[in-house]
Amino acid sequence: MNNEPGVTVTDLTVERDGFRALVNVNFHIGPGNLVGVLGPNGAGKSTLFGAIAGVLPIARGTVELHGTNDRAGALAYVPQRDSINLRFPATVYDVVMMGRYCHLGLFRFAGRKDREIVRTCLERVGLWERRDALIEENSGGQRQRVFIARALAQDARIVLLDEAFSGVDVGAQEGIIGVLQSLRDEGRVVMLATHDLTNLAQRFDQIICINRHICAYGPPEEAFNPEVLEELYGSHGLVMAHSHMGGETHIETHMHND
């Protein structure tokens, strides 16, 4: 049996409130990939993550998680910040320890091994010194690193982060990407939904461009092109600025709210 992590989505259709939020979505992600999921508001990025995580019902199609029979232990899902109760009186340490619960069982308490794992995970994301701080006392970038540490403590082989860059400055974004790339290098599957189109080729191995269906999927330099941009964002309100500096292509988008 192949124990390598992966995600296969086949003919996925998801309905929300009588509306088809996703229609006939197909893709496969193999181990050791950091994948950016791009699309405008309402494109179905959060719906896709919810379907993969098993928290939203599927109208048609299948989602297969490879390399494990345990969805709860194998997959870590960090929803958008608005979906997380940051006022809950939990410390950074408490939140990361939550990642160990799926391994503890019903009648077992956290032991020395679990505490050592939590410390290692917090050290890895550079937050051990903030272990006693309440989660709400951290910056946006620090909070995202806390949730990544929780995924590490869970030993998740598939990690989904929905809009992890929301409210996070550029410097903190690069720190988050660095941690995610290290997870990728360990053979995990990491998917990150984002509106940020900066340095896609440097950040992601593959990108999924979605607008209720898959518009493109592949390496950023191949999948992200003017035709796909128009399908994602429309012909109005889109400005592309290409500047080649050290081989990098910078794409800037401006979208008007109708």
Rounded to the nearest integer, the mean pLDDT of the chain is 84
- What confidence category does residue 258 fall into, taking pLDDT thresholds of 50, 70 and 90? very low
Q: Per-residue pLDDT averaged across 146-162, rounded?
A: 92
Residue 216: the pLDDT is 95
- What confidence category does residue 173 fall into, taking pLDDT thresholds of 50, 70 and 90? confident
Pairing of the two strands 6-16 and 60-66: antiparallel
- What confidence category does residue 235 fall into, taking pLDDT thresholds of 50, 70 and 90? low
* 190, 33 contact by CB (below 8 A): yes
Q: Per-residue pLDDT averaged across 110-118, rounded?
A: 89
pLDDT digits (tens, 9 = 90+) for 51-69: 999 999 999 999 999 976 6
Percent of the chain with pLDDT over 70: 83
Q: Per-residue pLDDT averaged across 29-58, rounded?
A: 95
Residue 255: the pLDDT is 42
Q: Is the pTM of this model over 0.95?
A: no
Residue 238: the pLDDT is 52
pLDDT at 248 over 50: no
**Which CA distances in Å does 178 have to 5, 52, 204, 208?**
20, 24, 11, 20
Q: Which residues contact 129 (CB under 8 A, 6 or more apart)?
A: none
Question: Chain-centre distance of CA 142, in angstroms?
Answer: 16
